[in-house]
Amino acid sequence: MTRGIEKKYVQLLRDYLAGQGEDQLYDAQQLGKWLLLQDISPEEMIDLHGRALEYLGDVPEFVRASFSILTEVMIEYGNEHRSVTSMRSKHKQFQSEMAVASAMQKSLVPQELPVYPDVEIGLVSVAAKQISGDYYNIVTHDDGRLCLTISDITGKGISAAMCMSMLKYAMESLGDMLHGPDEMLRHLNRVVERNIDPSMFVTMLFGCYDTQKHRFRYAVAGHEPGFVYRAKEGRFYDMEGKGMALGICSDSHYQEYEVHLDVGDVLILLTDGVTERKIGRYYLHRDELVSYLEAELGTSAQVMADNLYSKLLLLSQFELPDDYTMMILRRT
Amino acid sequence: MAELYPETIKIDSVADIVAARQVGRNMSRQLGFGTIMQSRMATTISELARNIFLYAGEGTITITPIEREGAIGLQITALDAGPGIADIRKVLEDGYSTSGALGAGLPGVRRMMDEFDIQSALGEGTKVIVVKWRS
Amino acid sequence: MDLTMNITRNETEHLVSLSGDVDAFTGPKAKEAIMTSVETPGVAVVVVDLSQVEYMDSTGIGIFIGVMKACKQVGCDFVVQNLPSRVERLFRITGLYDLVSIRKGESE
């Protein structure tokens, strides 16, 4: 500690003892902040106070001696102070590593949505924390097919991010060799089962939309399939489909399902961050979700997805405990 | 100032911990360490000696005045034949120190000292050597 | 909310009753307890009762998948009983419902 601080502190004490004003107390509080910035430990502060007393008059021996006890006690506080400082710098390093991981993860998903003359795509995907456990992909093919993936990986954080890059590259390399979505999931399941922790699993809906025939062929692995809106009837239906989540069994087989979209029909794909939503003390009910969807029907697919996200965020008091992804396909 | 010699204190009771602290405090005062450093030295010795007493049952603390390239310092060596530490990196992590388990307090010791060395093998024991230089 | 566990043992069967939340924070504790039972020599059946579970997320489901795989390896029967409706729904969606023995109704 420098001489300067000592002088300053003695002066502050002297001024205070002369008048006992709030001014000096305020100065002392500000000094505390400054001392913390200079990394002055509690025990050093005690020592400084003890030395400062000697300048102010005759210090009784029992007061002088009592400082030994106080110093000894404060060393533990000092240790804690030093440990917080070191944890803070580690935390900073960790945060910057997370930021890199998060940026890498964002590069795994499509940066812009494809545009078609009579199909609109809307998308909202928001991570609850820095790293998302939701994965989605939209891949266009020359033959007019539009392949959609929506997926939820158990757990969040680094393990989810690593699993996600495995999913993406496995799907890319499987992509052209396969016939249908059922085959895609069957092969992907084998890759996932062999390569992830036994307690992890992945839920997924994968399908291809034929932008000429307006037919969506898909398969489901442990994922909640979503909704289809029939404009003619003005009604929402649950999409059908079931299948074992990826990574549970080495030899899971999947079934192919199909929906056809007429003009005005809407397909809504989602992850459980949308449906497993706590509103106050109860969970969002499926019928409520449908009524919120219904209220947004007149708009474009993207506006509908955006509005629904805002609506649900408002309802849950701006808390987003789980990763949220919604993909909307609307035939115009 | 009288010539200072290394001293070894056998640790197998709380009274021994106190005795070791006293030796360390006196020696650091004689070497010209400030009051804060004297207390930190005593704290360091306490932590090392407590680890010996609580987990190994017995061992020794050796306090040695040292001189290297003109610098004056104090070296503490803690030695025991106790259970040993399985994962030294873990023990030195912050946050572990609140666990109260074997090795707790070592992160604090490491930060108070200038040099810190630890060797440990499971079932064989632990040796910790720390040095503080007079600034 | 926290998770509490109650384990009833006899020589060949262990019953682990979970109550509270099973999520990323409490999950490891539950998994450790269930796995200890699975790995106990002589135990042929491990039953997990979920009647008092208030919340379970996908990490919780992951535990049951991990336990199921471990049971297959050591040849022990894994039974899950008294699933609350939300939990049952998760078991059905993920497909786990068809892989483990589910017992109903007989709450103790």
Q: CA of C25: which chain A residue's CA is closest? A: A155
Task: Give the pLDDT score at B130.
Answer: 96
Optimal mutation site among A79, A81, A85, A91, interface B, most CBs of chain B within 10 A: A79
CB C104 within 8 A of CB C71: no
Q: Please name the residues between 8 and 67 in chain A that touch chain B, using a CB distance below 8 Å.
A: 43-44, 47
Same-domain pairing of A176 and A312: yes
CATH at A49: 1.10.1240.30
Percent of chain A with pLDDT over 90: 61
Chains that touch A (3 or more CB pairs under 8 A): B, C
The residue-averaged pLDDT of A205-209 equals 96
Q: CA of A245: which chain C residue's CA is closest? A: C94
- List chain B residues with CB under 8 Å of A90: 94
Phi then psi dihedrals of residue A171, to 5 deg: -70, -35
For tokens 């632990």, name the residue.
B126
For domain C3-103, give its CATH number from 3.30.750.24, 2.120.10.90, 3.30.160.270, 3.40.50.720. Answer: 3.30.750.24
DSSP state of A214: T
Give domain status of residue B116, yes or no: yes
Same-domain pairing of A287 and A323: yes
Q: Which amino acid is at A296?
A: E
DSSP state of B98: G
- Report pLDDT digits (tens) over C4-61: 999 999 889 999 999 999 988 898 899 999 999 999 988 999 999 999 998 888 888 9
Q: Name the percent of chain C in helix, strand, coil, to the closest 5.
A: 40, 35, 25
Do residue B111 and residue A68 have CB atoms under 8 angstroms apart? no
CATH at B80: 3.30.565.10
Whether the pLDDT of residue B85 is over 90: the answer is no
Same-domain pairing of A315 and A202: yes
Give domain status of residue B88, yes or no: yes
Q: Nearest-CA distance from B24 to chain A in Å? A: 14
Q: Please name which of A315, A188, A198 lies closest in space to residue A252, comparing C-alpha atoms.
A: A188
Q: Nearest-CA distance from A8 to chain B in Å? A: 20
- Report pLDDT digits (tens) over B30-62: 999 998 999 999 999 999 999 999 889 999 999
Quick one: tokens of A301? 């697919």
Whether the pLDDT of residue A3 is over 50: the answer is yes
Whether the pLDDT of residue A302 is over 60: the answer is yes
Domain limits at A260?
110-331
- List chain A residues with CB under 8 Å of B18: none
The whole-chain average pLDDT of chain A stands at 90
Whether the pLDDT of residue B98 is over 60: the answer is no
Task: Give the pLDDT score at C105.
Answer: 62
Same-domain pairing of A281 and A137: yes
Quick one: tokens of A77? 């506080």
Same-domain pairing of A80 and A133: no
Do residue A87 and residue B95 have CB atoms under 8 angstroms apart? yes
Question: B121 — alpha (psi -120 to 50), left (phi > 0) or beta?
Answer: beta
Which of A43, A82, A90 shows the shortest C-beta gap to B36?
Answer: A43
Confidence of residue C107 (pLDDT cuts 50, 70, 90): very low
Give domain status of residue B101, yes or no: yes
Task: Give the pLDDT score at C95.
Answer: 93
Same-domain pairing of A231 and A321: yes
Domain limits at B127?
7-133
* A6-10, A158-162, B131-135, range with the lowest pLDDT: A158-162
Q: Please name which of B65, B50, B56, B57 lies closest in space to residue B85, comparing C-alpha atoms.
A: B56
Question: What does the DSSP assignment read for C55-100?
Answer: EE-HHHHHHHHHHHHHHHHHT-EEEEE---HHHHHHHHHHTGGGTS
Whether the pLDDT of residue C73 is over 80: the answer is yes
Quick one: tokens of A149? 């993936």
How far from each other are the two terminal CA atoms of chain C, in whole angstroms? 23
Q: Reduce the DSSP state of residue A258 to 3 states and report it.
A: strand
- Report pLDDT digits (tens) over A248-284: 999 999 999 999 999 999 999 999 889 877 777 777 8
Same-domain pairing of A92 and A118: no
The residue-averaged pLDDT of B18-22 equals 94
For tokens 């539950």, name the residue.
C30
- Report pLDDT digits (tens) over A116-157: 999 999 999 999 888 889 999 999 988 889 999 999 998 767
Confidence of residue C77 (pLDDT cuts 50, 70, 90): very high
Provide the H-helix boundaries in chain A: 3-19, 22-37, 42-56, 61-106, 158-174, 181-195, 272-275, 286-295, 301-315
Report the domain count for chain A.
2
- Report pLDDT digits (tens) over A45-57: 999 999 999 999 9
Highest mean pLDDT among A198-207, B87-96, C51-60: A198-207
ipTM > 0.90 (yes/no): no
Confidence of residue A206 (pLDDT cuts 50, 70, 90): very high
Same-domain pairing of A136 and A29: no
Q: Which residue has the higher pLDDT, A315 or B95?
A: A315
Confidence of residue C108 (pLDDT cuts 50, 70, 90): very low
Beta bridge partners of B120: B126
The whole-chain average pLDDT of chain B stands at 89
Whether the pLDDT of residue A14 is over 90: the answer is yes
Optimal mutation site among A72, A87, A89, A91, interface B, most CBs of chain B within 10 A: A72
Percent of chain A with pLDDT over 70: 98
CB A164 within 8 A of CB A172: no
Mention every residue, 6+ apart, whose C-beta is less than 8 A from residue A65: none
Here the contacts of A231-238 (C-beta below 8 Å, separation 24 or greater) are A231/A262, A231/A263, A231/A264, A231/A265, A231/A266, A232/A262, A232/A264, A236/A290, A236/A293, A236/A294
Give domain status of residue B1, yes or no: no
Q: Nearest-CA distance from C58 to chain A in Å? A: 6
- Report pLDDT digits (tens) over A81-118: 888 888 888 899 988 988 888 888 888 999 999 999 99
Task: Judge whether C69 is closer than 8 Å to chain A, CB to CB.
Answer: yes
CA–CA separation, A32 vs B15, rounded Å?
A: 38
Q: Please name which of A318, A306, A301 lies closest in space to residue A128, comparing C-alpha atoms.
A: A318
Question: What does the DSSP assignment read for A109-154?
Answer: S-SS----SSEEEEEEEE-SSSS-SEEEEEEE-TTSEEEEEEEEES
Neighbours of A212 (CB within 10 A): 10
Report the domain count for chain B.
1
Which of A199, A252, A272 shows the shortest C-beta gap to C63?
Answer: A199
Element (H, E) at B17: helix B14-30
Whether the pLDDT of residue A10 is over 90: the answer is yes
Confidence of residue A216 (pLDDT cuts 50, 70, 90): very high
DSSP state of B28: H
Task: Give the pLDDT score at A39.
Answer: 86
- Report pLDDT digits (tens) over A172-202: 988 766 679 999 999 999 999 999 888 899 9
The residue-averaged pLDDT of A6-15 equals 92
Phi then psi dihedrals of residue A265, to 5 deg: -75, 150
Same-domain pairing of A168 and A90: no
